[in-house]
Amino acid sequence: MIKAQRLAAATVRKVLSGASLTAVLQDTWHDHASLSEQQRGAIQDLSYGVLRFYGQLDTLLGLLLEKPLKNQRIRDLLLVGLYQLEYSKAAPHAVVDNAVSTSRELNGGSGFQGLVNAVLRNFMRQQATLLKRVAENEVGYYSHPQWWIDKVRIQYPKNYKAVLEASNLRPPMTLRVNRRKITLAEYQDRLRKNDMSAQPAGTDALELAQPVAVGRLPGFAEGLVSVQDAGAQLAAGLLDIHEDMRVLDACAAPGGKSAHLLELADVELTTLDIDITRVTRITRNFSRLGLTAHKIIHGDASQPMAWWDGKPFDRVLADVPCSASGVTRRHPDIKWLRRESDLFQFAARQREILHALWPTLSRGGKLLYATCSVFAEENGLQVKDFLHHHPDARLLPLSRPETIEGQLLPDSHHDGFFYALLLKA
């Protein structure tokens, strides 16, 4: 546990300094190749947990310290210890003892053991009182930055509490069944025979009762199933594709929505992404699933003249770069890495892509604008601005009643997404 606490604390520090959680963990696995699968799981759980509840833990630590702690490594270790005491099943005395020992490692044998011991034991003694005080602070209660809380409250006055609380839940593991190879009912039966329980969560979706390692999924290597959030699976159906259509997925990597399109119909699909590393993931995903795209292109969606052959597409999926504010339960670092000013930069990039792709769409064709954001600047306001500048565009009603004017808010079964289906008149 000592190594897990130490490496989790180091992970949290790097993320709070501006690094991506996914990237930091990948570097950690590379630098500590001898870690067992169990150790990796423990480090990942602690790192995700601290960042998921960082607002609460940081507020709590402020109440427990008599003065600000300048030693960041010890501070992050205390955050990990507080998370374990509040949310893990580890024995409290073991958490405290290991944290004290880890503090000795971090500081050459002396200096902070007494502080670490006192802070964690004080929390154990005053846990109920302290948590009540923390809950009086919005950042402490919701574990989101204050600007984020304020924006969600303004934009969703009736739903903001549910949105913020859902964003702190552990995400479900949802599968997309490859209907070209197996039916949903058949795959559900395969899971049952492997002692896994799952319930339908959409036309091609199954939500597992308990997440498992991908390698344990029956038939995964053979392409029977993919891991994809139920909300993300709505995109392919909303695009309204039919056989032999020319279809463009303009921001395709890593290829989940593209693959779903090919699983639904025999279309002439072109996939495009600006990140060459992620383009290779599209190819790998298609290979595993037994799917073939017409073209897989490394290119910029906002510069179609560099990759478009001039022949209009019948359908375009524009799953544009965004703040990812709808998927924070899967990526809790996003809450602490984003700044409110970032929304304007994302909106500018989205606007650029949307306007550039419109000429590639045929008359009578449909473009599905999609984000994994909950912020109006990237969603409804973006579409409203587009319609103002394009009189030949018409917003179509969506066939999904669970969306609020295209906005799918996060809940216990799916992440947050926005969809707008535009017809070129």
Asked if residues 366 and 423 have their Cβ atoms less than 8 Å apart, the reply is yes
Strands (E), 231-267: 246-249
pLDDT reported for residue 403: 77
Asked if residues 302 and 350 have their Cβ atoms less than 8 Å apart, the reply is no
Residue 71 has pLDDT above 60, yes or no: yes
Residue 106 has pLDDT above 90, yes or no: no
pLDDT reported for residue 359: 98
Q: Which two tokens stand for residue 412?
A: 């216990």
Phi, psi of 21, rounded to the nearest 5 degrees: -60, -45
pLDDT reported for residue 402: 72
pLDDT reported for residue 168: 96
pLDDT (tens digit per residue) in 173-198: 999 999 999 999 999 999 999 999 99
Number of domain units in the chain: 3
- Asked if residue 354 is part of any domain, the answer here is yes
Which contiguous run of DSSP H or E holds residue 346? Answer: helix 342-357
25 and 131 share one domain: yes
pLDDT reported for residue 306: 97
Q: Cα(82)–Cα(98) distance, rounded to whole angstroms?
A: 12
209 and 270 share one domain: no
pLDDT (tens digit per residue) in 348-391: 999 999 999 999 999 999 999 999 999 999 999 999 999 999 99
303 and 246 share one domain: yes
Q: Residue 215 belongs to a domain with what CATH number?
A: 3.30.70.1170
Q: Terminal CA-to-CA distance of the chain, rounded, Å?
A: 62
Question: Helix 342-357 vs helix 380-389: angle between axes, to the nearest 10 degrees?
Answer: 40
Phi, psi of 285, rounded to the nearest 5 degrees: -65, -45
The strand pairing partners of 317, in sequence order, are 249, 368
Asked if residues 418 and 373 have their Cβ atoms less than 8 Å apart, the reply is yes
pLDDT reported for residue 58: 97
Q: Which residue has the tokens 């929390």?
A: 123
Q: Cα(120)–Cα(247) distance, rounded to whole angstroms?
A: 57
pLDDT reported for residue 105: 85
pLDDT reported for residue 138: 98
Residue 317 has pLDDT above 70, yes or no: yes
Among residues 247, 253, 364, which one has the least CA distance to residue 300?
Answer: 253
State the pTM of this model.
Answer: 0.94
- Asked if residue 158 is part of any domain, the answer here is no
pLDDT reported for residue 2: 63
pLDDT reported for residue 361: 98
Cβ-based neighbour number of residue 189 at 10 Å: 12
Q: Residue 112 belongs to a domain with what CATH number?
A: 1.10.940.10
Asked if residues 1 and 9 have their Cβ atoms less than 8 Å apart, the reply is no
∠ CA(121), CA(126), CA(132), 5° rounding?
135
19 and 134 share one domain: yes
Burial degree of 329 (CB within 10 A; 0-12, 13-18, 19+): buried
Q: Cα(120)–Cα(85) distance, rounded to whole angstroms?
A: 8
Which contiguous run of DSSP H or E holds residue 175? Answer: strand 174-177
Mean pLDDT of 305-328: 97
Task: Give catalytic status of residue 372 as yes or no.
Answer: yes
* Average pLDDT for the chain: 95
Residues of the domain holding 31: 2-140
pLDDT reported for residue 108: 62
Q: Cα(38)–Cα(394) distance, rounded to whole angstroms?
A: 52
8 and 99 share one domain: yes
Residue where one domain finishes, among candidates 196, 227, 258: 227
Of the pLDDT bands very low, low, confident and very high (cuts 50, 70, 90), residue 400 is confident
Cis peptide upstream of residue 254 (ω within 30 degrees of 0): yes
305 and 195 share one domain: no
395 and 317 share one domain: yes
Asked if residues 268 and 245 have their Cβ atoms less than 8 Å apart, the reply is yes
- Asked if residue 120 is part of any domain, the answer here is yes
pLDDT reported for residue 57: 98
Mean pLDDT of 272-294: 94
Question: Helix 54-64 vs helix 37-52: angle between axes, to the nearest 10 degrees?
Answer: 80
Q: Which of 78, 130, 164, 372 is labelled catalytic?
A: 372
Task: Give the Å distances, CA to CA, from 63 to 35, 60, 85, 233.
Answer: 35, 5, 16, 43
Of the pLDDT bands very low, low, confident and very high (cuts 50, 70, 90), residue 312 is very high
The strand pairing partners of 206, in sequence order, are 175, 200
Of the pLDDT bands very low, low, confident and very high (cuts 50, 70, 90), residue 1 is low
